[in-house]
């Protein structure tokens, strides 16, 4: 690749031809602030926070650094008085229409706009105060709310919904001063075919959109002496929670997380990884039955509720391809309120099942039909990783000083196959480990072909006399591409894994928000996934069928994978939905 020479604040460096001013500055060790920019997704140069002075031989002038290309021998000034004054003026204009209730805002202390105002010495933005448009908060969706009074029109949410997820249920309505982000015909988000993935929340720089918070309800349940409150934590939570307490991206905090949950007052702290192993037992059995008995193929995983809802809305004719297995979250709740409740002699009505998830779609999933194996909801409350972080902070728990503790038995016992569920390709790898063993008796552990953050991965595995062609997709625009290939007869996969969020659950819509200045240059999906694969590699048991707690639950309760009782408790159904 051809390189060119540029000078950034007097520092001469060589960068690839085609680099933007923003990229060149980063390479030289200078960070240019942004609000709207998302690499390869929202490169629109609209917010003007990234303005930078450049000189291409005709004197210095201001340009939008996030989109302006470098030229050979260009001089770049990222912090000149002219640049700083321009950015301050832009911030004051943004604040002039912004609801500045920072003390009560969910993003206070972790707000990109707030940080910029502090960095540039903006006090309250009152310089340009005038008439403000007022908007009602949209809380029609099961998983989130939208407050346009705090929106800065960066359009990140619009870009990720339309481009990354291929859904596009939100966009810019009206024009000029009246512009606001909303859905077509002013429908509430809950009336649209939004799939609840929460990727819009993950990229919002301010507090304009956020998950619905159920911390108060969970604390009230914990305080109720008549309730037994159980908590389960998803694989990806341990790979992200530490970021809420200042730890580096990719820090494993499993032990501290367990300790914190005990100190919050939960009666039992369990691991959703147990239910991931349970899911594999059912899913691998279902796949083998479909292959051997002429069932609907390709079979597609059903662990991601955002993906399931996407299929129900946009590909309803492909619902027979979905595995009938409940997600690990729901399997866990169903098992806790049947098997565990019977074992402990507790009425399921007195059990409160709380899940900690990296996913906002789980909030929608707990209210789906056919998710109440014991006659009560399998899961009562689903909290995001962010909610757990806030819950720990409010309780005054010094998270980083906590000792490492272990999950409770027996629903806290899991294998390496269960923990890798949180990364794209993990469900496929875990299922194949058990399917291969069931069919051939062989032991399989690492399947590198389905690992990594690529949006679509394909592989073919020899399983006995069978050639099993598999596909792994993450991000719903990639899922759409794969499904359309299947519909056109251009793909002959037998097994497909789909996760709604790019990179899988480690990049879920409920994980701690990472400033775009970091996300644009660090693959947070890869860093968090390393935690899970390292845990898998270090575990003595790496196949779901070797989990002693799983063997126990089948021997004493479910009989065998795919049994009538297993179907009653662990499997579910789907509904066709319209597109709005």
Q: Cis link prior to 41 (omega < 30° from 0)?
A: no
Which tokens is 454 given?
Answer: 């690529």
- The answer on 291 and 198 residing in a single domain is no
- The answer on 325 and 205 residing in a single domain is no
Strands (E) in 248-394, as ranges, are 268-271, 299-300, 351-357, 381-384
Query: Which of the residues in the chain have pLDDT under 50?
Result: none
- The answer on 419 and 545 residing in a single domain is yes
Over the stretch 194-232, which tens digit does the pLDDT of each residue have?
999 999 999 999 999 999 999 999 999 999 999 999 999
Over the stretch 101-143, which tens digit does the pLDDT of each residue have?
999 999 999 999 999 999 999 987 667 877 789 999 999 999 9
**CATH number assigned to the domain comprising residue 61:** 3.10.20.740
- The answer on 224 and 182 residing in a single domain is no
Count of beta carbons in the 10 Å neighbourhood of residue 441? 8
Is 172 within a domain? yes
- The answer on 270 and 172 residing in a single domain is no
Three-state secondary structure call for residue 267: coil
Which residues on neighbouring strands pair with residue 355, listed in sequence order?
232, 382
Strands (E) in 56-125, as ranges, are 60-64, 74-77
- The answer on 317 and 356 residing in a single domain is yes
- Dihedral of CA 568/295/367/410: which sign? positive
The predicted pLDDT at position 187 comes to 96
**CATH number assigned to the domain comprising residue 116:** 3.30.70.20
Q: Which helix (H) or strand (E) holds 516?
A: helix 516-519
Contacts of 280 by beta carbon, 8 Å cutoff, 6+ apart: 417, 418, 427, 430, 431, 433, 434, 544, 545
**C-alpha to C-alpha distances, 268 to 299, 341, 346, 353, 413, nearest whole angstrom:** 35, 12, 13, 10, 13
The predicted pLDDT at position 130 comes to 73
Look at strands 209-211 and 228-233 and give their pairing.
Answer: unpaired
Nearest to 421 by CA among 233, 270, 235, 197: 235
Over the stretch 225-261, which tens digit does the pLDDT of each residue have?
999 999 999 999 999 999 999 999 999 999 999 999 9
Number of domains in the chain: 3
DSSP 79: S
Q: What residue has token string 């949410």?
A: 157
Asked if residues 288 and 463 have their Cβ atoms less than 8 Å apart, the reply is no
The Cα–Cα gap between 430 and 144 comes to 31
Is 259 within a domain? yes
The Cα–Cα gap between 241 and 256 comes to 10
Is 89 within a domain? no
Three-state secondary structure call for residue 351: strand
Asked if residues 493 and 469 have their Cβ atoms less than 8 Å apart, the reply is yes
pTM of full prediction above 0.85: yes
Which tokens is 288 given?
Answer: 């083998």
- The answer on 204 and 290 residing in a single domain is no
Three-state secondary structure call for residue 286: helix
Q: What is the DSSP string of 387-398?
A: HHHHHHHHTT--
- The answer on 418 and 542 residing in a single domain is yes
Is 578 within a domain? no
Q: Which of residues 79, 110, 131 is at a domain's end?
A: 79
The Cα–Cα gap between 244 and 185 comes to 37
- The answer on 148 and 66 residing in a single domain is no
- The answer on 329 and 194 residing in a single domain is no
Is 84 within a domain? no
DSSP 545: G
Q: What is the DSSP string of 477-503?
A: HHHHHHHHHHHTT----SEEEEESSTT
Q: What's the distance, CA 361 to chain centroid?
A: 9
- Strand 299-300: give its sheet, edge to edge: 299-300, 495-499, 466-474, 456-463
The predicted pLDDT at position 126 comes to 65
Q: Which of residues 155, 179, 210 is at a domain's end?
A: 210
The Cα–Cα gap between 11 and 4 comes to 14
- The answer on 124 and 51 residing in a single domain is no
Is 576 within a domain? no
- The answer on 462 and 394 residing in a single domain is yes
Range of the domain at 313: 216-570
The Cα–Cα gap between 426 and 424 comes to 5
Over the stretch 338-382, which tens digit does the pLDDT of each residue have?
999 999 999 999 999 999 999 999 999 999 999 999 999 999 999
Nearest to 515 by CA among 3, 22, 38: 38
Is 290 within a domain? yes
Is 577 within a domain? no
Q: What is the DSSP string of 383-446?
A: EEHHHHHHHHHHTT--GGGPPP--PPSSTT---HHHHGGGSTTHHHHHHHHHHHHHHH------
Q: Which of residues 178, 210, 242 is at a domain's end?
A: 210
Nearest to 334 by CA among 305, 366, 374: 374
Q: Which helix (H) or strand (E) holds 55?
A: strand 51-55
The Cα–Cα gap between 19 and 67 comes to 9
């Amino acid at each position: 690749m051809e390189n060119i020479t540029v000078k950034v604040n007097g520092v001469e460096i060589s960068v690839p031809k085609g680099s933007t001013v923003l990229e060149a500055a980063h390479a030289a060790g200078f960070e240019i602030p942004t609000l709207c920019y998302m690499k390869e997704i929202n490169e629109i140069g609209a917010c003007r926070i990234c303005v930078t002075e450049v000189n291409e031989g005709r004197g210095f002038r201001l340009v939008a650094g996030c989109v302006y290309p470098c030229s050979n021998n260009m001089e770049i000034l990222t912090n000149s008085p002219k640049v700083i004054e321009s950015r301050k003026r832009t911030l004051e204009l943004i604040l002039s229409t912004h609801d500045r209730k920072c003390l009560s805002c969910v993003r206070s202390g972790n707000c990109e706009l707030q940080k910029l105002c502090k960095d540039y010495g903006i006090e309250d933005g009152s310089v340009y105060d005038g008439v403000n448009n007022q908007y009602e908060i949209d809380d029609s969706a099961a998983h989130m709310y939208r407050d346009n009074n705090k929106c800065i029109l960066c359009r990140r949410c619009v870009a990720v919904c339309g481009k990354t997820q291929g859904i596009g249920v939100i966009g810019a309505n009206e024009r000029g001063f009246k512009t606001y982000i909303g859905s077509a015909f002013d429908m509430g988000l809950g009336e649209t075919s939004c799939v609840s993935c929460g990727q819009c929340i993950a990229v919002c720089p301010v507090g304009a959109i956020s998950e619905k918070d159920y911390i108060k309800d969970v604390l009230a349940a914990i305080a109720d002496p008549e309730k037994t409150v159980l908590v389960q934590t998803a694989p990806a939570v341990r790979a992200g929670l530490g970021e809420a307490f200042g730890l580096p991206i990719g820090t494993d905090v499993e032990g501290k997380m367990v300790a914190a949950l005990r100190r919050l007052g939960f009666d039992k702290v369990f691991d959703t990884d147990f239910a991931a192993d349970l899911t594999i037992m059912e899913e691998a059995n279902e796949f083998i039955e479909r292959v051997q008995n002429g069932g609907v193929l390709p079979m597609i995983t059903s662990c991601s509720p955002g993906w399931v809802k996407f299929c129900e809305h946009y590909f309803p004719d492909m619902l027979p391809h979905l595995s009938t297995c409940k997600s690990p979250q729901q399997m866990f709740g169903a098992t806790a309120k049947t098997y565990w409740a019977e074992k402990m002699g507790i009425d399921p009505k007195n059990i409160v099942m709380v899940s900690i998830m990296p996913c906002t779609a789980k909030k929608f999933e707990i209210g789906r039909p056919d998710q109440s194996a014991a006659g009560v909801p399998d899961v009562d409350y689903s909290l995001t990783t962010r909610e757990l972080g806030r819950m720990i902070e409010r309780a005054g728990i010094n998270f980083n000083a906590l000792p490492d503790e272990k999950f409770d038995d027996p629903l806290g016992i899991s294998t390496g196959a269960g923990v890798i569920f949180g990364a794209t390709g993990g469900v496929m790898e875990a299922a194949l480990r058990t399917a291969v063993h069931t069919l051939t008796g062989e032991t399989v552990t690492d399947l590198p072909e389905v690992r990594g953050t690529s949006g679509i991965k394909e592989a073919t595995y020899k399983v006995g006399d069978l050639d099993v062609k598999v596909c792994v997709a993450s991000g719903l625009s990639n899922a759409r591409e794969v499904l359309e290939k299947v519909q056109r007869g251009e793909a002959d996969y037998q097994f497909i894994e789909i996760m709604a969020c790019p990179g899988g659950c480690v990049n879920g819509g409920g994980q701690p928000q990472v400033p775009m200045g970091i996300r644009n240059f660090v693959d947070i999906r890869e860093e968090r996934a390393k935690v899970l694969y390292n845990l898998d590699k270090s575990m003595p048991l790496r196949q779901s069928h070797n989990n002693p707690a799983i063997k126990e639950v089948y021997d004493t309760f479910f009989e065998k994978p795919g049994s009538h009782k297993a179907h009653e408790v662990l499997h579910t159904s789907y509904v066709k939905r319209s597109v709005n």
